[in-house]
Amino acid sequence: MTEAWEERQKARRVLEAAVAEAGGKPSQHVFALPVMRKAGVTNAEFRRAAGHLDEQGWIAEGAGEYETFVVTPEGVERITGERVEAPGAGKKEEPSDEDDEESSDEDDDEES
């Protein structure tokens, strides 16, 4: 086993633990200590893994050397295989032209 492979495996365990701590939901703040315990890594190993995960875009908003951070939708997808969106990231539905026509028809009825 190479050292790089071992580091990637630790990073994967950290990401798995972070997704579990976040309940599989993106943009949920998680704390480093429970993630480290679940992943079975030391503080230094966690920091290296978190830096790698951040570079990949799988975690974000790391505060205080990743004492707290969030798992991104891409990070959740990487572990679960399911595409997820961050809360509020979905497009708002735009009203269609039909809605405007119905409103103007109603207005016409009121004028009669």
pLDDT digits (tens, 9 = 90+) for 67-108: 999 999 999 999 988 887 766 655 444 444 554 544 445 555
Q: Does the pLDDT at position 31 exceed 70? A: yes
Cα distance between residue 70 and residue 59, in whole Å: 6
Length of the chain: 112
What average pLDDT score do residues 50-67 get? 94
Q: Which residues of 11-30 are buried (b: 16+ CB within 10 A; e: fewer)?
A: bbbbbbbbbbbbeeebbbeb
Predicted structure pTM score: 0.73
From 2.60.120.10, 1.10.10.10, 1.10.3470.10, 2.40.50.140, which CATH number describes the 3-111 domain?
1.10.10.10
Mean pLDDT estimate for the chain: 83
